[in-house]
Amino acid sequence: GSRAVVFFEVEILDAKTKDKLCFLDKVGTHPQFYPARQSIRLDPKGKSLKDEDVLQHLPVGTTATFYFRDLGAQISWVTVFLTEYAGPLVIYLMFYFRVPFIYAPKYDFTTSKHWVVHLACMCHSFHYVKRLLETLFVHRFSHGTMPLRNIFKNCTYYWGFAAWMAYYINHPLYTPPIYGEQQVKLALIIFLFCQIGNFSIHIALRNLRPPGSKTRKIPYPTKNPFTWIFLLVSCPNYTYELGSWLGFTLMTQCLPVAFFTMVGFIQMTVWAKGKHRSYLKEFRDYPTLRSPILPFVL
Ligand SMILES: NC(=O)c1ccc[n+]([C@@H]2O[C@H](COP(=O)([O-])OP(=O)(O)OC[C@H]3O[C@@H](n4cnc5c(N)ncnc54)[C@H](OP(=O)(O)O)[C@@H]3O)[C@@H](O)[C@H]2O)c1
């Protein structure tokens, strides 16, 4: 089957060889298993070897057994992010413009009388345009690809939530926040503050990695005060992301938005804990004061 693990033995004739571990690509007998689909391990249950690994530095003798696993069809990260993020942008705008077949026909292409609805649309669109631009011009990803099947799961999540939130916020019967203008203004400040913070962290992470490399370093605060939160948390981009959605929840006072914020928070906490653990494992001198996502708490 395509997901079966097979193993093969390699005789290392020249111990100094710097050959990369893309055997099947070189053998050329199975062109469908292009290098990004290959997972090659020394132990069938162990971690996949890295693209940069060379035979010379592996803990093997003059012969070695490698285990190959097909990772399934791959799709580039950039394509994934563009699809995931362009969807919510377009879907939200369809509800905002009240295209036919969403609300009652008499509301087709009408606009809301509440200014907060227009502000919310600007904030939502800004958020996703920012993410699209960051994907194209800021992030330096270490993995070129991800399994194709993930895109269906991720798009269901992002597109589904965008539709659910947009349906209620742009609904002709939408009621604006209870504390009116003051609440919306405070929410906008929180939202913008966290958007700038999130962007600042993305720039700081980008600057940790020279172009074309995959190196990981300990992130530290830079001259930009928005990055000083690195003193207390390992993944402040998630902290700011959470803050942005809390701001958006306060602004719209809408239950599906609160729900999206909560689900996003749970997901980001799981990732932040994993990243925090890897930092501790990888760097002996990792600052002890840091928490994964919320200072001193989580
Ligand atoms: N609302 C939601 O539910 C939600 C969920 C997830 C993400 N997001 C948003 O999407 C953004 C990106 O998410 P992400 O999960 O990809 O963030 P991430 O893992 O923190 O990575 C952001 C970029 O920085 C790089 N990076 C991270 N740590 C590094 C280090 N120590 N040294 C060098 N480079 C490093 C990453 O490279 P690698 O390729 O090596 O990781 C990646 O290119 C988040 O910040 C957040 O704004 C939103």
Cα separation, 176 vs 20, in Å, equals: 59
Express each pLDDT in 29-79 by its tens digit.
Answer: 666 777 777 778 888 778 888 777 777 777 777 777 778 777 777 888 788
Cα separation, 35 vs 58, in Å, equals: 19
Mutation probe of ligand 1 site: the residue of 130, 146, 209 with most atoms within 8 A of C-beta:
209
Distance 271 CA to ligand 1 centre (A): 10
Q: Which pLDDT does position 10 carry in this prediction?
A: 57
Q: Which pLDDT does position 29 carry in this prediction?
A: 65
Cα separation, 267 vs 27, in Å, equals: 40
Residues of the chain with pLDDT under 50: 1-4, 13-21, 26-27
Q: Which pLDDT does position 76 carry in this prediction?
A: 84
Domain range annotation of the chain:
1-13+40-70, 75-279
Q: Which pLDDT does position 214 carry in this prediction?
A: 85
Q: Which pLDDT does position 6 carry in this prediction?
A: 56
Distance 132 CA to ligand 1 centre (A): 13
Q: DSSP letters along 226-269, please?
A: GGGGGGTBS-HHHHHHHHHHHHHHHHH--HHHHHHHHHHHHHHH
Distance 129 CA to ligand 1 centre (A): 17
Q: Is the pTM of this model over 0.95?
A: no
Q: Which pLDDT does position 17 carry in this prediction?
A: 45
For ligand 1, atom 3, which residue shows the shortest CA distance? Answer: 264
